[in-house]
Structure 1
Amino acid sequence: MSRFHIVDDDTIARGECTDIYFARCEEVLAKEGKNPLVTMEVTTVGMPYDRGVFCGLDDAVALLEGVPVDVEAMPEGSVFLPREPVMRITGRYRDFGRYETALLGFLCHASGIATAAAHVKEAAGDCKVYSFGSRRQHPAIAQMIERSAWIGGVDGVSNTTAPEGMPIVGTMPHAFVMCHATPEEAWTAFDRHSALDVPRLMLCDTFGDEKEECLKAAELGFTGAVRLDTPRSRRGNMRAILEEVRWELDSHGHEDVGIFLSGGVTREDIRAYRDLVDAFGVGGAIANAPVIDFSLDIVEIEGKSCAKRGKWSGVKQVYLLPGGARVILPTGAHAPEGAVPLLKPVMRHGQAVGHTDMAKARARVLADLAERAQSA
């Protein structure tokens, strides 16, 4: 048993982290000698946003490695809409049915975080956004959180277990400041001993008024930015606080000192304060994002289209049309002229064909955000 109540990789890979009804029905189907050839699609009929960002494919491929199935999926970082299949799996049902729980867990959770990150980044405009939320989730999934947030477009992450290739950011907690006699002593020590490539971003609301501590930090001469992490219980009118801090910094000749805001920041906060703030540290709004409520449903059995009530039968393809519109069509239908199919092969007979690329996934999201900003 794991020391920290964590399901180990091998248990997940064997399909033993599953809902009990899958295991029980697999046993019954085996006794009946039934193992039909099926195609199942991953879709959602609703989500908290107008569009989602597909994420978690890398883990899904690793889960199904060696399982005799064919898989097509949208590339990671793809934008998807309700009812669009983001993945389809073809194989004998008993060969992969028990993996549904883990598969959906990978896709639902990662896509929820990536989607929230993209919408937060869109709200921020030209301001930087950093993922500060791994402490709001189980540490076993910290890497997944940061990877998904990075794909979703954040400019950096805070957790030291983040995958290689992304900026890991952060300077000091309130506890560090409180380990010194005064905030000035703490800031000076941080500047003296931190590596040169670490930003001189000073936390300025530990003991005193925000504008007073920010001004003291700026007057030390080495501060590139000040960070406010004021608890909501003490904020009052946060915009008024930010305006006051900005005024005092500017009026004392510190126009070059930026403001970094963290602490319970929401997408609505970002919209409200982005004209005053240079960067945001976002925690729960990304890490605790609602999952995308994907389901995995049979759409074809032994070559015949069928589906349960409320689902669309038949194997489908999603096409991106010239001009940006999208359409869902049966795979046998003629594709519209100039249309680009979005679901592509990722596995054949249980073997990956190609690989998921985190940098390309992130680039897809950033390209979509740039296009939306131009059309706004």
Structure 2
Amino acid sequence: MAQRSEAWEKRFIYATFDEIKAGLTTDIYFVRTRRILEKYGLLDAEVHMEVTASRLPEDYRWGVFAGLREVLKLLEGKRVTVRALPEGTLFKAQDYYGYKIPVLTVEGPYGEFVELETPLLGFLASASGIATKAARVKKAAGDKLVLSFGARRQHPALAPFVEFYAYIGGADAVSAVLGAEALGIKPTGTMPHSLLIIFRAFKGDHSLGWKAFDEVIEKDVARVALADTFFDETEEVVLAAKTLGEKLWGVRLDTPGSRRGNFEDIIREVRWRLDTLGYKHVKIVVSGGIDEYRIPSLARAGADAFGVGAAISTAPPIDFAMDITAVKREGRWVPISKRGKLPGKKQVYRCDKCMVDVVVLEGSEPPVCPKCGAQMEPLLETFIEDGRPTKRVESPQEVRARVLEQLSRLEEI
């Protein structure tokens, strides 16, 4: 058994940027493959590899393609050509006729990226899983706010990654400081129960915690009072409203499931009491075990915003696979693949009106939409050509806008 380096005793268990770029997070069989190909002079064998979704998680009819930003940084400086769907494109595992849809292709000498298949798939699987779940949650919430609160449900090294792709998928705001920094936005959050418990224990009144928040925190931060710490939710909400008055933007209900009863009834009662006392401007934020399945009934009950944690940050990954579908011999590309995969270089076409995709061999005549007969447009774009970047990486705001526009054209989750 290999001995563990002493360096691991002094660090958290995670891989650094340089370690990932160097292929150190790969599966061992790729390291062994490099040694074999090197011995037989085949490291420069040119291959065309495509990434397809083996399947989507149960109940999912579509996914959000995400993680392209990471893949481009992973392959930066390599002698490869990369084509892909634009980041934030909604996709299905199969096209209209049942053929698997390539979401990304890598072409070049195999030795340039043999060890990078593992991290490449990991980036896409995780980012697409998080973005897809966030999009499903946002679709369920409609015009109500979705706040990503999931940093504590993942490895802390992944907090910026989780928040970045939650936002891309449709979350309106994120709570983790470093995640917000990566996005170029301000972090959003309320207050913990510990703040109110400490004020009650040492100052005799937890409502002083709300006042302290208002006195200390910047004025451009919304005043949202956590209102379920000691009393009945309705009584705490009324107390918070009377304490902060017009300054109060909202109240957050994070009642433990063991004390919650019917959460919808609690929300309805809170809304009614606030309205009756003249606090119609106060929003109701709910958190704790929220996902796309819970949101519709909570929204109908009167919830205005949803703090979503584990549902997004621990979202099921998209099961992507990467396979050789062509090799270059004597100056020309020759289709070849393993059983169960379709050989050849391909392009994906979409009817923007019908959101229908069709996969064809590269060089074929552009197809027409099998539903409406309209001319279809190619989806796969070139992002790296022979090692040179050909397209800029879009901002997270631009990608998020693309996701939201596509979601607006879907009738349901």
Q: TM-score, normalised by structure 2?
A: 0.88
Q: Are 1:320 and 2:343 matched, yes or no?
A: no
Map residues 1-376 of structure 1 onto 2, 5 A cutoff: 1=7, 3-35=11-43, 36-48=45-57, 49-82=60-93, 83-162=100-179, 163-181=182-200, 182-220=205-243, 221=245, 222-275=247-300, 276-302=302-328, 303-324=333-354, 325-336=356-367, 338-357=375-394, 358-372=396-410
Offset at 1:164? 3.8
Offset at 1:45? 2.7
Quick one: which amino acid aligns to residue 204 of structure 1?
Answer: A
Quick one: which amino acid aligns to residue 123 of structure 1?
Answer: A
1:31-71 CA-partner distances (Å, limit 9, x unpaired):
12223211100111311211111111111011111111111
Give the secondary structure class of the aligned counterpart of 1:151: helix
State the alpha-carbon separation in 2 of the partners of residues 189 and 208 from structure 1. Answer: 19
Offset at 1:209? 0.9
Answer yes or no: is the 8 Å Cα contact 1:75–1:356 preserved in 2. no
Offset at 1:322? 4.9
State the alpha-carbon separation in 2 of the partners of residues 205 and 311 from structure 1. Answer: 55
Answer yes or no: is the 8 Å Cα contact 2:164–2:183 preserved in 1. no
Quick one: which amino acid aligns to residue 170 of structure 1?
Answer: G
Answer yes or no: is the 8 Å Cα contact 1:155–1:167 preserved in 2. no
Instruction: Count the aligned residue pairs.
Output: 375
1:206-245 CA-partner distances (Å, limit 9, x unpaired):
1111111011111221312110011112212111111121
State the alpha-carbon separation in 2 of the partners of residues 96 and 347 from structure 1. Answer: 14
Give the secondary structure class of the aligned counterpart of 2:408: helix
1:281-307 CA-partner distances (Å, limit 9, x unpaired):
100111110001111111112222122
State the alpha-carbon separation in 1 of the partners of residues 315 and 54 from structure 2. Answer: 18
Offset at 1:183? 2.5
Offset at 1:252? 2.0
Answer yes or no: is the 8 Å Cα contact 1:318–1:327 preserved in 2. yes
Answer yes or no: is the 8 Å Cα contact 1:54–1:86 preserved in 2. yes
Percent identity, aligned pairs only, is: 45
Offset at 1:247? 1.8
1:149-173 CA-partner distances (Å, limit 9, x unpaired):
1110111000100214234100211
Answer yes or no: is the 8 Å Cα contact 2:358–2:367 preserved in 1. no
Offset at 1:323? 2.3
Answer yes or no: is the 8 Å Cα contact 1:171–1:198 preserved in 2. no
Give the secondary structure class of the aligned counterpart of 1:161: helix
Q: TM-score, normalised by structure 1?
A: 0.96
State the alpha-carbon separation in 2 of the partners of residues 118 and 164 from structure 1. Answer: 17
State the alpha-carbon separation in 2 of the partners of residues 285 and 189 from structure 1. Answer: 32
State the alpha-carbon separation in 1 of the partners of residues 342 and 325 from structure 2. Answer: 7
State the alpha-carbon separation in 1 of the partners of residues 310 and 339 from structure 2. Answer: 36
State the alpha-carbon separation in 2 of the partners of residues 233 and 336 from structure 1. Answer: 56
State the alpha-carbon separation in 2 of the partners of residues 309 and 135 from structure 1. Answer: 42
Answer yes or no: is the 8 Å Cα contact 1:37–1:301 preserved in 2. yes
1:159-198 CA-partner distances (Å, limit 9, x unpaired):
1002142341002111111110223111111112211101
Quick one: which amino acid aligns to residue 291 of structure 2?
Answer: T
State the alpha-carbon separation in 2 of the partners of residues 32 and 187 from structure 1. Answer: 70
Offset at 1:81? 0.9
Counterpart in the other structure of 2:371:
none
Answer yes or no: is the 8 Å Cα contact 2:223–2:250 preserved in 1. yes
Give the secondary structure class of the aligned counterpart of 1:224: strand
Answer yes or no: is the 8 Å Cα contact 2:130–2:165 preserved in 1. yes
State the alpha-carbon separation in 2 of the partners of residues 193 and 359 from structure 1. Answer: 30
Give the secondary structure class of the aligned counterpart of 1:212: helix
Answer yes or no: is the 8 Å Cα contact 1:199–1:224 preserved in 2. yes
Give the secondary structure class of the aligned counterpart of 1:372: coil
Which stretch shifts more, 352-361 or 194-203?
A: 352-361
Quick one: which amino acid aligns to residue 174 of structure 1?
Answer: H
Provide the aligned C-alpha RMSD in A. Answer: 1.5
Answer yes or no: is the 8 Å Cα contact 2:327–2:335 preserved in 1. yes
